[in-house]
Amino acid sequence: MLNIAQNKLNKTVDLKNYKAVSKVMHKKHFKHFNRFLLVFSVIGIIILFLPWTQNITGKGYLTTLRPDQRPATVQSPIPGRIEKWYVREGEKVNKGDTILQISEVKNEYFDPNLIDRTKLQIKAKSSSVEAYEGKIGALGQQIAALQKERGLKLEQAKNKLLQSKLKVQSDSIDFEAAKTNLTIAQRQYDRTLQLQEEGLKAVKDVEDKRLKQQETQAKLVSQENKLLESRNNVLNAEIEINRVQASYSDKINKARSEQLTASSNGFDAEAQVTKLENTLTNYEIRNSLYIVRAPQTGYINKAIQAGVGETFKEGDKLINIMPANPDLAVEMFIDPIDLPLAHPGEEVRIMFDGWPAIIFSGWPNVSTGTYAGRIVAVETFISDNGKYRILIAPDPEQEPWPKALQAGSGARSIALLDDVPIWFELWRQLNGFPPNYYQPETANTAKK
């Protein structure tokens, strides 16, 4: 009772008459209580200077260290209908084991002899390619023969042209000789006519010379005709050369055109063969997809498409597989304010759901039931839950994690930071300051 009023109770009432007061109000009790307060204060002061390990706590769950060891769903790249299951849920399968068989649902693939008939089409088109190649070869031989024949014909025409030119020269000489003979015959006729007028020659001699003159003149005309004919033959020979060149050029160009057409058709046939071979390969791969196999060794978790005869689209999930013997890791999420304090290689203590543990967050060495881990990755982009994700792997130098752990179970982690006195940690907590920012030795070494 507080003595707040002006009337003191202990002065107006004698408390010693009460049994409870007589048992309590002794000086020896005050002495023991003072000693207790002194010892408690000394212990409290000593505790304030004890070391305390700062830490970052976070919640997460077990996952796998490697992405290919996480639970995966088997999907079908083609639509189909489930025909038969070969596994049960919870059963272990090895890589390549048959999981289920599916059948076709698209009408363009219903033909059971589709692959054989596609092979026949490829064979027919390949024969067509060979036929075009043969035609190209035959046309090439024809072109070579035409070129050779053109050369011979041109040589023959050139020889004829040369003969015609030589004939022109010969006829020109004969024509000049005929003109000379005509001149001589004319002179003889004039001389004989003059002598006849003088009475020295008979009329018969004049007539003979006149006849010879006319014969010589007739030969001149004949030689002139021959010369003109020879010159005409030269022109004909030149025209023949041009005709041979034009005729055989037309034949050769026509053969080359047919050869190019055959080559184009051959290339088109080769393209069709390649397309058919591609189609055949697609058919063969599609047939191999009718058997769905396990992509890796693991356990069948859940059949998503269960019923026999049930149809599905391409890309639909069929079954869920959990890989066997995964490298477990803890996926932990921390607040953004604690992100600069998390570094790869730092030690972390982990508590797993289902494993009892006694935790002293400031004294990890005293805690029991926790397991050691090391940070192996720190995410650099915030997650959907507003926190940053870090990945923790088992510490190979510490006690191994329990073998019964399974991916997906919960875990709580404590990332160990700097060692500080307890009074400093209390002061930090009261002021709401973050833990001490520091760089571990591994980070400093890497930076240097």
Kindly report, residue by residue over 369-400, the tens digit of the pLDDT.
678 888 888 888 888 888 888 888 888 888 88
Q: Specify whether the CB–CB gap between 320 and 301 falls below 8 A.
A: yes
Per-residue b or e along 202-214, where b marks 16 or more CB atoms closer than 10 Å to that residue's CB: eeebbeebeebbe
Q: Are residues 83 and 129 in the same domain?
A: no
pTM: 0.57
Q: CA 442 to CA 446: how far, in whole Å?
A: 6
Q: Is residue 380 in some structural domain? A: yes
Range of the domain at 25: 1-48
Q: Is residue 227 in some structural domain? A: yes
Q: Are residues 368 and 247 in the same domain?
A: no
Q: Is residue 165 in some structural domain? A: yes
Residue type at 160? Answer: K
Q: Are residues 42 and 97 in the same domain?
A: no
Q: Are residues 284 and 309 in the same domain?
A: no
Which are the contacts of 204, defined by CB distance < 8 A and separation ≥ 6?
none
CATH code of the domain in which 404 resides: 2.40.30.170
State both tokens at 21: 């007061």
How many domains is the chain partitioned into structurally? 4
Q: Specify whether the CB–CB gap between 287 and 89 falls below 8 A.
A: no
Q: How many helices (H) and strands (E) does the chain have?
A: 7, 14
Q: CA 305 to CA 311: how far, in whole Å?
A: 9
pLDDT at 447: 43
Q: Find the helix or strand (DSSP H, E) in which 442 lies.
A: helix 441-447
Q: CA 215 to CA 222: how far, in whole Å?
A: 10
Q: Which residues of the chain have pLDDT under 70?
A: 1-18, 20-31, 52-55, 357-369, 415-420, 429, 432-448
State both tokens at 287: 């047939």
Which are the contacts of 333, defined by CB distance < 8 A and separation ≥ 6?
58, 59, 60, 383, 385, 387, 388, 389, 390
Q: Are residues 298 and 341 in the same domain?
A: no
Q: Is residue 33 in some structural domain? A: yes
Q: Which residue has the tokens 């920012």?
A: 437
Q: CA 49 to CA 363: how far, in whole Å?
A: 14
Q: Are residues 427 and 304 in the same domain?
A: no
pLDDT at 271: 92
Q: Is residue 332 in some structural domain? A: yes
Q: If 0-12 CB within 10 Å is exposed, 13-18 middle and 19+ buried, where does residue 370 land?
A: buried
Q: Specify whether the CB–CB gap between 65 and 393 falls below 8 A.
A: yes
State both tokens at 107: 């009408």
Q: Which residue has the tokens 């932990």?
A: 332
pLDDT in tens, 16-51: 666 766 666 655 556 677 777 888 888 888 877 777
Q: CA 402 to CA 62: how far, in whole Å?
A: 12
Q: Is residue 389 in some structural domain? A: yes
Q: Is residue 109 in some structural domain? A: no
Q: Are residues 235 and 189 in the same domain?
A: yes
Question: Which residues are registered as beta bridge partners of 81?
Answer: 103, 311
Q: Are residues 43 and 171 in the same domain?
A: no
Q: Find the helix or strand (DSSP H, E) in which 372 lies.
A: strand 371-378
State both tokens at 100: 């289920």
Q: If 0-12 CB within 10 Å is exposed, 13-18 middle and 19+ buried, where does residue 40 land?
A: exposed
Which are the contacts of 176, defined by CB distance < 8 A and separation ≥ 6?
none
Q: Are residues 64 and 75 in the same domain?
A: no
State both tokens at 402: 């329990």
Q: Are residues 265 and 303 in the same domain?
A: no
Q: Is residue 196 in some structural domain? A: yes
Q: CA 78 to CA 99: how far, in whole Å?
A: 16
pLDDT at 438: 47
CATH code of the domain in which 80 resides: 2.40.50.100
CATH code of the domain in which 195 resides: 1.10.287.620
Q: Are residues 129 and 269 in the same domain?
A: yes
Q: Residue 76 region, left (φ>0) first, then alpha (ψ -120 to 50), else beta? A: beta
Q: Are residues 218 and 336 in the same domain?
A: no
Taking CA atoms, 121 is separated from 9, 63, 125, 227, 277, in Å, by: 121, 53, 6, 72, 10
State both tokens at 209: 């010379």
